[in-house]
Chains A and B, each alone.
Chain A
């Protein structure tokens, strides 16, 4: 027997009149972009010079002023100690991760901080990457509100597909601090595909190659009649155009040492070389060679760079992206020649060598009709529109990295393999290894390697209260659930006795709820009022939904009620509607409880009628032998 889809009633979605538009935000390593759906078409917000890019750079002044964007970037050379850039590279990172990168990042890290999330020393303050990202988002929100002359409270924020759970959580926390409700975290390549799917009725297999300032993603998608199904995704969360800049800068600094006959390089020279390198890279996207000058402390050096030398310097990084593409194509079980289109995303795909190598791999010229810097924000805005106003398209995404837990000997037991469609929930059973073992440490990791120390530690928690049993008798069922944002929750239960343990997951590199609460207090003077407004809105939406459901029921079954009974219900509805018009959340809840009580006999009679007619139906079907329920 085939399962039939019931047409849902014509219940309209709750009114969204209380909220402003939902926006799409590409929170990038180098630049951030905001796009807003206007009459179904996404529009990128631009400054008075026409640029849609806001540099993801924040400057912290001694007097408490926070500058974001171009103004902050101007201070990068003069007051480097007060300016932070590329903070996205630190999202969800712990102290240990960052030590490995020490020296390659332009950050002054607080090495005193105990465990947990990494902290930066900047402009006399100590800040987490979450707080710095929140400052960028707050500025983007303010600019958008000023341009649209409307409050902006909801957003779709994009993240690299390859971002792990800690980095995703950090991004969501940053939005919360900035006063933005995240409707959905969408993977950047998926958002870009959505932007391209808009114009052309695309069908078939597509690849999205996304090389940004600090991250690389490759996703293989199936597109069919408005469904965007990600087949496989992969990447490197620390590979991007920044690496090109560093390679060129080192080349320049080697030349400078030679020409000036100096042994050491000052930090100021290094910073200047990096800026010159970026400029040279951008120029060589359109020309075959050029000459640049680095002048620090009155000492000049001249540097000639042609396209061949540039290609030689950056080839190792581009080759790495090509190798990752090949591995992901294999995961998706797709031959490169079967890919019908390759979409380029990210400013670094302007580099000619990148285009050449991508074209060679897939055997076709890549698509780049939408500005690669803006395409992700455009897709995010489309998704924001789809989530708030409805849409015919649907994104079906996957987990980028396998999730597992540590077992004996530090070996990882995978619970959810990479490229599993989300949302997903999977359970695995484990057992005790000692007689009478009463507690068990559960260590959650993410990654593809066999050993725990080669994977990323996401969380550790203790399942306690296991009843005393012989070793191996207990059955501990650990359930992993990944939601549509790609965020993980873990729960554990001892199944032979049914002891369920409320588990407190302590994020290895995240912010604890206490820290989050403190930051919310610090950052929002009106945090409490904002929260109350949100709860009030939610109570109204829920009340409206209940009344609509009741009206649908009255539409079908009102003959079950006497005139007096009907009047009692109508009065309770009026009471609820009066409460909804006011601002008293408790009053709305009281009125809804009265309404529920008033409609209870009605609901019971409806159930009785339904059971009677269904039983009649069941009997008929049994005679025909067609009903096989499981």
Chain B
């Protein structure tokens, strides 16, 4: 994008840049030029703003989906398939940005890590970072042992249900910690959530293995 902000401090202050198509002024956040209607590139906004929802941990998934679908209806590359290459490329960038925002916000773990990052805290939710919370380590170990000892699908179901309940409780606690701006606690709980998800997944996988015919 040919942003005026690099050369023109006045334009930067006004959050405007020239539309690539009609060359007139267009707001940096605008999706389309209000004069010529040309699609614009994705603006540098956070995921919540991009999808037009309030920045909180409690996200109404139906609302999130409605907003996401609404923006994709206007911006998806399928809407620009017979347009010029430039318009196709911009719509693809828009759709990529929308998908990234949607994928981040619909998953409670990624959402929690994102909210923390916005407040200057980094929680590693992808890698196998070492945990130094002894209570969490003990809990994870006990659950794994219980899973290994489980002999029937019913036993595994019980463990899976327990893990699911813990996941829910942890999410409530994260919500509270973020609401109270207790970032230390929120970061610890987010790490805990990551491990609880992992355990719930392992329980499900184990159950599937028990009930499914071998291939």
Chain A residues proximal to chain B, CB less than 8 Å = 1-3, 5-11, 13-14, 16, 183-184, 224-225, 227, 229, 319-320, 323, 326-327, 330, 383, 386-388, 390, 394-396, 420-425, 481, 483-484, 538, 541-542, 545-546, 548-550, 552-553, 555-557, 599-600, 602-603, 606-607, 609-611, 614-615, 618, 629-630
Point out the residue from B19, B29, B71, B78 that lies within 8 Å of A184, measured CB to CB: B78
Q: For B74, give the chain A residue with the smallest CB separation.
A: A5
Q: Besides the contacts A394-B72, A538-B85, A611-B11, what 18 more A-B pairs have beta carbons closer than 8 Å? A: A5-B31, A5-B71, A6-B31, A8-B37, A11-B37, A183-B82, A184-B78, A224-B65, A227-B73, A229-B69, A323-B215, A394-B73, A395-B78, A423-B96, A553-B35, A600-B23, A607-B23, A610-B24
Interface contact B44-A326, CB-CB below 8 Å? no
Interface contact A550-B49, CB-CB below 8 Å? no
Interface contact B103-A541, CB-CB below 8 Å? no
Q: For A550, give the chain B residue with the smallest CB separation.
A: B22
Interface contact B99-A615, CB-CB below 8 Å? no
Interface contact A421-B37, CB-CB below 8 Å? no
B38 partner residues in chain A, CB cutoff 8 A: 8, 11, 545, 549
The answer for the CA separation of A365 and B4 in the assembled complex, in Å, is 60
Given contacts A3-B45, A6-B34, A227-B69, contact A320 B215 (CB under 8 A): yes
The answer for the CA separation of A10 and B37 in the assembled complex, in Å, is 7
Most chain A beta carbons < 10 A, residue from B23, B39, B46, B215:
B23
The answer for the CA separation of A437 and B22 in the assembled complex, in Å, is 47
Interface contact B15-A614, CB-CB below 8 Å? yes
Point out the residue from A3, A184, A420, A553 that lies within 8 Å of B24, measured CB to CB: A553
Given contacts A386-B78, A483-B92, A484-B77, contact A611 B16 (CB under 8 A): yes
Q: For B82, give the chain A residue with the smallest CB separation.
A: A388
Interface contact A610-B14, CB-CB below 8 Å? yes
Interface contact A549-B77, CB-CB below 8 Å? no
Instruction: Flag whether B111 is at the interface (Cβ < 8 A).
Output: no
- Rounded to whole Å, the gap between the CB of B48 and the closest CB of chain A is 9
The answer for the CA separation of A183 and B52 in the assembled complex, in Å, is 31
Interface contact B15-A227, CB-CB below 8 Å? no
Chain B: number of interface residues, binned into ranges: 35 or more
B196 partner residues in chain A, CB cutoff 8 A: none
The answer for the CA separation of A517 and B35 in the assembled complex, in Å, is 42
Chain B residues proximal to chain A, CB less than 8 Å = 4, 8, 10-11, 13-16, 18-19, 21-39, 44-46, 49-50, 52-53, 65, 69-74, 76-79, 81-85, 87, 92, 95-96, 99-100, 102-103, 204, 208, 212-213, 215
Interface contact B35-A552, CB-CB below 8 Å? yes
The answer for the CA separation of A327 and B212 in the assembled complex, in Å, is 10
A320 partner residues in chain B, CB cutoff 8 A: 215
The answer for the CA separation of A424 and B25 in the assembled complex, in Å, is 29
B10 partner residues in chain A, CB cutoff 8 A: 611, 615
A603 partner residues in chain B, CB cutoff 8 A: 18, 22-24
The answer for the CA separation of A542 and B13 in the assembled complex, in Å, is 32
Most chain A beta carbons < 10 A, residue from B13, B25, B44:
B25
Q: For B29, give the chain A residue with the smallest CB separation.
A: A3
B39 partner residues in chain A, CB cutoff 8 A: 8
Q: For B23, give the chain A residue with the smallest CB separation.
A: A603
Interface contact A421-B102, CB-CB below 8 Å? yes
The answer for the CA separation of A618 and B12 in the assembled complex, in Å, is 12
A16 partner residues in chain B, CB cutoff 8 A: 82
Given contacts A549-B38, A614-B16, contact A484 B78 (CB under 8 A): yes
- Rounded to whole Å, the gap between the CB of B6 and the closest CB of chain A is 14
Interface contact B37-A9, CB-CB below 8 Å? yes
The answer for the CA separation of A14 and B76 in the assembled complex, in Å, is 18
B73 partner residues in chain A, CB cutoff 8 A: 227, 394
B36 partner residues in chain A, CB cutoff 8 A: 9, 11, 548-550, 552-553
Interface contact A607-B21, CB-CB below 8 Å? no
- How many A-B residue contacts, CB cutoff 8 Å? 187
Interface contact A394-B78, CB-CB below 8 Å? yes
Q: For A333, give the chain B residue with the smallest CB separation.
A: B204
Interface contact A421-B76, CB-CB below 8 Å? no
Most chain B beta carbons < 10 A, residue from A184, A323, A423:
A423
Interface contact B82-A9, CB-CB below 8 Å? no
The answer for the CA separation of A1 and B27 in the assembled complex, in Å, is 15
Most chain B beta carbons < 10 A, residue from A396, A603, A618:
A396
B85 partner residues in chain A, CB cutoff 8 A: 538
- Rounded to whole Å, the gap between the CB of A537 and the closest CB of chain B is 11
Interface contact A611-B49, CB-CB below 8 Å? no
Interface contact A610-B16, CB-CB below 8 Å? yes
The answer for the CA separation of A59 and B200 in the assembled complex, in Å, is 55
- Rounded to whole Å, the gap between the CB of B203 and the closest CB of chain A is 12
- Rounded to whole Å, the gap between the CB of B54 and the closest CB of chain A is 8
Q: For B85, give the chain A residue with the smallest CB separation.
A: A538
- Rounded to whole Å, the gap between the CB of B96 and the closest CB of chain A is 5
Point out the residue from B34, B79, B83 that lies within 8 Å of A9, measured CB to CB: B34
- Rounded to whole Å, the gap between the CB of A28 and the closest CB of chain B is 23
Interface contact B81-A387, CB-CB below 8 Å? yes
A541 partner residues in chain B, CB cutoff 8 A: 84
Interface contact B99-A423, CB-CB below 8 Å? yes
Interface contact A387-B78, CB-CB below 8 Å? yes
Point out the residue from A396, A420, A483, A609 that lies within 8 Å of B72, measured CB to CB: A396
- Rounded to whole Å, the gap between the CB of B23 and the closest CB of chain A is 3
- Rounded to whole Å, the gap between the CB of B92 and the closest CB of chain A is 5
Interface contact A420-B103, CB-CB below 8 Å? yes
B22 partner residues in chain A, CB cutoff 8 A: 549-550, 552-553, 603
Point out the residue from A1, A13, A386, A607 that lies within 8 Å of B16, measured CB to CB: A607
The answer for the CA separation of A421 and B4 in the assembled complex, in Å, is 32
Point out the residue from B14, B50, B65, B83 that lies within 8 Å of A3, measured CB to CB: B50
Q: For B4, give the chain A residue with the smallest CB separation.
A: A607
Given contacts A6-B32, A484-B77, A557-B24, contact A326 B83 (CB under 8 A): no
Interface contact A599-B23, CB-CB below 8 Å? yes
- Rounded to whole Å, the gap between the CB of A626 and the closest CB of chain B is 13
Given contacts A227-B72, A484-B77, contact A618 B15 (CB under 8 A): yes
User: Would you give 7 A-B contacts (Cβ < 8 Å), ordered by A?
Assistant: A9-B34, A11-B38, A13-B83, A388-B82, A549-B36, A600-B23, A603-B22
Q: For A389, give the chain B residue with the smallest CB separation.
A: B82
Given contacts A9-B34, A13-B83, A553-B35, contact A422 B99 (CB under 8 A): yes
Given contacts A423-B77, A548-B36, contact A484 B92 (CB under 8 A): yes
The answer for the CA separation of A319 and B212 in the assembled complex, in Å, is 10
A6 partner residues in chain B, CB cutoff 8 A: 30-34
The answer for the CA separation of A423 and B4 in the assembled complex, in Å, is 28
- Rounded to whole Å, the gap between the CB of A81 and the closest CB of chain B is 37
The answer for the CA separation of A320 and B213 in the assembled complex, in Å, is 10
- Rounded to whole Å, the gap between the CB of A379 and the closest CB of chain B is 13
- Rounded to whole Å, the gap between the CB of B68 and the closest CB of chain A is 9
The answer for the CA separation of A555 and B33 in the assembled complex, in Å, is 14
The answer for the CA separation of A607 and B11 in the assembled complex, in Å, is 8
Most chain B beta carbons < 10 A, residue from A2, A3, A11, A227:
A3
